[in-house]
């Protein structure tokens, strides 16, 4: 290679190097601009959009309250459109900016790489090759650095992470349970005395419709006499109030919303509203109910710490007394021709669900026992019955806590603890709605328009042929549940016909017809029975010696729910309000 060609080669390399270097600098500048642009874009997404989103949410609330306000609606639409524009533009800028940044950085790197490649000079080693001392020193550093790393790691382990977290094996041992198995929790449920002192479930203790104590027989809503308070119920429902201590609970629902309301028993103030939306497992299956049943026919149940609710769409959930939803799930939309109405019952720390649906041969009906605080299923059994509308009741019969159920075609008694069936009697057919009661050694089950059957409770297995003591066939109710003081059992038809039977032999003692219609089941308090007439009357009468009317009070509103009686106060749900009657 002569001198001239060497110079030409050097010049060529120099031009190439500079071109690449300039390209790298310019591309680097572009990359820096893009980084700034992307950062601004990112900040815009974090600052501007949340502010607009907040504004939009506020406008949505206003539109919800004022749906006919055209200017607000238009404003909301414009803002919504603007927000979408900003968001999509930002996303598009991010995408384009990232791509631009990538390309410009690639140009930077390739330019610099090529520039470096043409400029690089091959090494020219100086000095001696590696000496043993250098090698020994390197090995020493290696050992020391590994040792130092181990020490640092040890300190890190000791001071940062040791002892973190809960040991669940110990937790389970502490709770007296085995890992992976079920835990027998301590007695976290109310005593019998507490249950009797409250109105924890549909028709009170044992589902008997028997109140403890003395109650007003007469009041005047217009004058306010005897009415301690009256408060509005946001959403209507057929469910009855339940009361525990100073709390009253109700449910309400329509096609869109399902709610539980907690009121202060002393003043009637609404303490909180529990929302049952977004329930896990809820599909989009449509729920069809009859208007008379509605979406909130089942009554809640409470144990003094929790309140459990269920609705026509199969949503079941539990709230604590602060209104916090503890759990909720959907049991599947029940196949019920009039709409699901069975109230919840309670046994110890469990909530009992009579989930009857479909035909009796479809094996779709179930009796379910769930932990009240967690919603976990303790047991569930398929029931050979059709869809029905009565509620399960839990009562101690001859020392055994028993769940009583009635559905076409069986009245069935189950052990409350295990869910094991004790006996069944094939004695009722059709659209069963009356809740069974236990009185005087008999379980009373009602087949609408047909008969009331008295079933002896000392049997096991199928007792159809052996334990049905008697049947009463006079003016049999289709909705209301019976009441009994142990000596007599009284039925009430929707049309207002009262029939009183002797518990012992089923002999009819008296009958009486009241003008009106009745969906609410009667309640016995002392020697009197309280009847809530559908158009809004409370009728009080004695029943020992035939029907003797004591008093009639006008409520003035449609009343279809059964009342609750606690501690001298009567809680009556009308179509729109909740009344507290007392002194």
Partner 1 sequence: MKISSLGKIFCGVVLLCAVGAVFGAERFPPPEFDSGYQQPTMVNPGARSNVLEYVDVAVLVAVMSLTCFLVYKKRSRKGIFWLMLGSILYFGFWREGCICSIGAIGNVVLSVFDTNYAIPLAGLLFFVLPLVFTLFFGRAFCAAACPLGAIQDIVLLKPVALPVWLAGTLRLFAYAYLAIAVLMAATGSAFVICRYDPFIAIFRLGGNVNMVVVGGCMLLIAVFVGRPYCRFLCPYGVILRQLSRVSRKRVTITPDECIKCRLCEDACPFGAINRPTAEWAEGDYRVNKKRLGVNILLLPVLVVVFGFAGYLLSGGASRAHVTVRLADRIYAEESGEVDDTTDASVAFRGTGMTIAELYGNAAKVQKQFVFGSILAGALVGLAAGVKLIRSSIQWKRSEYEADRAGCFSCGRCFKYCPIENVRLKKLSEQC
Residue placing its CB nearer to partner 1 in the complex, 2 or 164: 164
Residue placing its CB nearer to partner 1 in the complex, 61 or 153: 153
Strand partners, 486: none
Shortest spacing between CB 56 and partner 1, in angstroms: 13
**Contact (Cβ atoms closer than 8 angstroms) between residue 495 and residue 506:** no
Residue placing its CB nearer to partner 1 in the complex, 171 or 232: 171
Which positions ≥6 away from 552 have C-beta within 8 Å? 537, 538, 539, 540
Residue placing its CB nearer to partner 1 in the complex, 14 or 461: 14
**Contact (Cβ atoms closer than 8 angstroms) between residue 552 and residue 558:** no
Residue placing its CB nearer to partner 1 in the complex, 143 or 548: 143
Left, alpha or beta for 238 (phi > 0: left; psi -120 to 50: alpha)?
Answer: alpha
Shortest spacing between CB 342 and partner 1, in angstroms: 19
Distance CA 273, CA 195 (A): 24
Residue placing its CB nearer to partner 1 in the complex, 27 or 221: 27
Shortest spacing between CB 265 and partner 1, in angstroms: 25
Place of tokens 């076409």: 408
**Contact (Cβ atoms closer than 8 angstroms) between residue 72 and residue 66:** yes
Give, in order, the Cα–Cα distances in Å from 176 to each of 172, 183, 187. Answer: 6, 7, 13
Shortest spacing between CB 253 and partner 1, in angstroms: 18
**Contact (Cβ atoms closer than 8 angstroms) between residue 402 and residue 413:** yes
Residue placing its CB nearer to partner 1 in the complex, 110 or 510: 110
Shortest spacing between CB 85 and partner 1, in angstroms: 6
Give, in order, the Cα–Cα distances in Å from 440 to each of 454, 486, 489. Answer: 10, 5, 9
Which positions ≥6 away from 48 have C-beta within 8 Å? 86
**Contact (Cβ atoms closer than 8 angstroms) between residue 45 and residue 86:** no
Residue placing its CB nearer to partner 1 in the complex, 379 or 547: 379
**Contact (Cβ atoms closer than 8 angstroms) between residue 477 and residue 434:** yes
Which positions ≥6 away from 323 have C-beta within 8 Å? 262, 271, 272, 273, 274
Q: Sign of torsion, CA 432 433 434 437? A: positive
Shortest spacing between CB 335 and partner 1, in angstroms: 21
Shortest spacing between CB 341 and partner 1, in angstroms: 23
Shortest spacing between CB 96 and partner 1, in angstroms: 4
């Amino acid at each position: 290679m002569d001198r001239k060609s060497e110079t030409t080669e050097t010049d060529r390399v120099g031009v190439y190097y500079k071109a690449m270097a300039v390209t790298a600098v310019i591309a680097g500048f572009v990359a820096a601009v893009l980084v700034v642009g992307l950062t601004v874009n990112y900040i815009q997404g974090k600052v501007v959009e949340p502010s607009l989103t907040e504004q939009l949410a506020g406008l949505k609330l206003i539109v919800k309250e004022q749906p006919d306000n055209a200017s607000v609606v238009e404003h909301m639409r414009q803002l919504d459109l603007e927000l979408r524009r900003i968001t999509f533009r930002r996303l598009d800028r991010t995408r384009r900016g990232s791509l631009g940044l990538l390309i410009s950085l690639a140009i930077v790197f390739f330019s610099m790489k090529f520039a470096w490649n043409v400029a690089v000079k091959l090494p020219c080693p100086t000095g001696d090759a590696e000496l043993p001392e250098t090698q020994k020193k390197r090995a020493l550093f290696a050992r020391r650095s590994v040792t130092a790393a181990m020490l640092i790691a040890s300190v890190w382990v000791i001071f940062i992470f040791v002892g973190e977290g809960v040991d669940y094996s110990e937790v389970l041992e502490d709770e007296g349970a085995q890992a992976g198995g079920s835990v027998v929790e301590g007695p976290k449920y109310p005593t019998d005395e507490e249950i009797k002192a409250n109105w924890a479930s549909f028709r009170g203790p044992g589902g008997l419709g028997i109140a403890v104590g003395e109650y007003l027989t007469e009041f005047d809503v217009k004058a306010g006499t005897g009415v301690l308070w009256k408060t509005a119920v946001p959403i209507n429902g057929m469910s009855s109030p339940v009361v525990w201590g100073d709390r009253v609970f109700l449910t309400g629902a329509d096609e869109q919303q399902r709610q539980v309301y907690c009121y202060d028993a002393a003043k009637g103030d609404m303490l909180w509203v529990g929302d049952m939306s977004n329930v896990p497992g809820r599909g989009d299956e449509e729920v069809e109910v009859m208007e008379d049943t509605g979406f909130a026919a089942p009554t809640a149940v409470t144990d003094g710490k929790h309140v459990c609710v269920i609705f026509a769409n199969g949503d079941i959930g539990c709230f604590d007394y602060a209104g916090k939803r503890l759990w909720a799930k959907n049991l599947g939309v029940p196949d019920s021709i009039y709409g699901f109405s069975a109230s919840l019952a309670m046994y110890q720390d469990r909530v009992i669900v009579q989930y009857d649906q479909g035909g009796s041969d479809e094996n779709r009906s179930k009796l379910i026992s769930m932990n009240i605080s967690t919603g976990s299923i303790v047991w569930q059994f398929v029931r050979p019955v059709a869809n029905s509308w009565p509620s399960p009741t839990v009562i101690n019969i001859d020392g055994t806590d028993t769940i009583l159920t009635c559905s076409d075609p069986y009245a069935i008694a189950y052990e409350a603890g295990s869910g094991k069936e004790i006996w069944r009697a094939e004695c009722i057919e059709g659209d069963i709605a009356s809740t069974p009661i236990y009185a005087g050694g008999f379980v009373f089950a009602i087949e609408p328009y047909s008969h009331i059957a008295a079933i002896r409770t000392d049997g096991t297995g199928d007792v159809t042929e052996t334990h049905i003591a008697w049947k009463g066939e006079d003016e049999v109710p289709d909705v209301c549940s019976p009441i009994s003081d142990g000596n007599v059992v009284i039925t009430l038809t929707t049309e207002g016909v009262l029939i009183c039977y002797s518990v012992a032999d089923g002999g009819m003692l008296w009958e009486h017809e009241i003008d009106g219609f009745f969906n609410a089941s009667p309640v016995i308090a002392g020697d009197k029975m309280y009847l809530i007439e559908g158009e809004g009357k409370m009728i009080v009468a004695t029943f020992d010696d035939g029907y003797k009317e004591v008093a009639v009070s006008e409520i003035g509103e449609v009343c279809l729910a059964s009342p609750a009686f606690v501690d001298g106060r009567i809680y009556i749900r009308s179509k729109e309000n909740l009344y507290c009657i007392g002194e």
